[in-house]
């Protein structure tokens, strides 16, 4: 089966997480688990760009933007013109609400370049699925990936599916979300092209994340959409 990892990091993430992976480690992991391409983000966009250049065709660049830091918003143009294919937002990390107006400038720029936005979900008070829904509602022309589709809490996972049902520009990514049955539910109820596979490396391991798709009860054609085709379309890669 062909695989695209729709969400991963490199570098060391300290504090409570205390996890990390090097560039070489990521590429070795991709080779070992047959991952053709990885959508990669790091707060140092120059690092992501250099990894993209060193591994042509393997890395989908996601430009990491903090809406509270205007320089990162201004720099979007530079990185998108250099080949980045998506935007990454993490309201939890940078302490803003996912429905905050301050994100609108980022969304407008994504619309101008016709690239999708990937946004972390699952943590109050910043990144709950309902807030992502309000953001999607204000920007119906921008494709918005709800990373972790609500994450670890059943009520948030249910809300992620409800928000995606309501807003056709919301796409769901399943890394860190523990329930295989919800992958199947998203595929069947939200849409066959709106749920995709990711690892959130180095937070989670590819084998564990893959098992959730494999045990979801979906057939091989559906799994291939989740593992590869949907992300390929979403990122235009
Ligand atoms: Zn992540």
The Å distance, Cα 197 to ligand 1 centre, comes to 13
pLDDT digits over 174-202, tens only? 999 999 999 999 999 999 999 999 999 99
Phi, psi dihedral angles at 222 (to 5 degrees): -65, -40
The Å distance, Cα 155 to ligand 1 centre, comes to 20
Number of other CB atoms surrounding residue 168 within 10 Å: 13
pLDDT digits over 4-34, tens only? 999 999 999 999 999 999 999 999 999 999 9
The Cα 195–Cα 132 span in angstroms is 16
pLDDT digits over 59-77, tens only? 999 999 999 999 999 999 9
Q: What average pLDDT does range 112-120 have in this prediction?
A: 98
The Å distance, Cα 20 to ligand 1 centre, comes to 12
Q: Which residues contact 209 (CB under 8 A, 6 or more apart)?
A: 174, 175, 197, 198, 199, 200
The Å distance, Cα 128 to ligand 1 centre, comes to 15
Model pTM? 0.97
What is the signed CA dihedral for 152, 64, 227, 184, rounded to 10 degrees?
30
Pairing of strands 3-9, 35-41: parallel
Q: What average pLDDT does range 156-174 have in this prediction?
A: 98
Q: What average pLDDT does range 41-63 have in this prediction?
A: 98
The Å distance, Cα 200 to ligand 1 centre, comes to 5
CATH architecture for residues 3-165+172-222 = Alpha-Beta Barrel (3.20)
Domain boundaries, the chain: 3-165+172-222
Phi, psi dihedral angles at 148 (to 5 degrees): 75, 0
Q: What average pLDDT does range 201-220 have in this prediction?
A: 98
Q: What average pLDDT does range 111-119 have in this prediction?
A: 98
The Cα 224–Cα 68 span in angstroms is 38
The Å distance, Cα 8 to ligand 1 centre, comes to 6
The Å distance, Cα 18 to ligand 1 centre, comes to 13
Arithmetic mean of pLDDT over the chain: 98
Distances (CA, A) of 56 to 43, 72, 198, 205, 220: 20, 25, 20, 23, 29
Q: How confident is the model at residue 237 (pLDDT cuts 50, 70, 90)?
A: confident
The Å distance, Cα 148 to ligand 1 centre, comes to 8
């Amino acid at each position: 089966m062909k695989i695209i990892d729709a969400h991963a990091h490199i570098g060391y993430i300290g504090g409570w997480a205390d996890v990390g992976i090097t560039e070489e480690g990521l590429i070795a992991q991709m080779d070992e688990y047959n991952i053709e391409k990885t959508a990669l983000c790091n707060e140092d966009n120059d690092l992501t760009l250099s990894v993209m250049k060193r591994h042509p065709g393997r890395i989908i660049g996601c430009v990491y933007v903090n809406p509270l830091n205007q320089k990162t918003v201004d720099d979007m143009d530079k990185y998108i013109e250099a080949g980045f294919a998506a935007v990454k937002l993490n309201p939890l990390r940078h302490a803003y609400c996912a429905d905050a107006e301050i994100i609108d400038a980022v969304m407008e720029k994504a619309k101008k370049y016709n690239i999708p936005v990937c946004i972390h979900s699952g943590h109050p008070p910043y990144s709950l699925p309902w807030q992502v829904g309000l953001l999607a509602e204000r920007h119906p022309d921008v494709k918005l990936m709800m990373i972790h589709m609500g994450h670890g809490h059943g009520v948030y996972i249910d809300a992620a599916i409800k928000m995606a049902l309501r807003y056709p520009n919301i796409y769901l990514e399943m890394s860190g979300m523990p329930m295989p049955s919800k992958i199947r539910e998203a595929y069947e109820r939200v849409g066959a092209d709106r749920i995709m596979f990711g690892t959130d490396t180095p937070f989670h391991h590819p084998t564990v994340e893959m098992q959730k798709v494999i045990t979801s009860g979906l057939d091989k054609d559906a799994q291939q959409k989740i593992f590869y085709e949907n992300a390929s379309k979403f990122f235009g890669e």
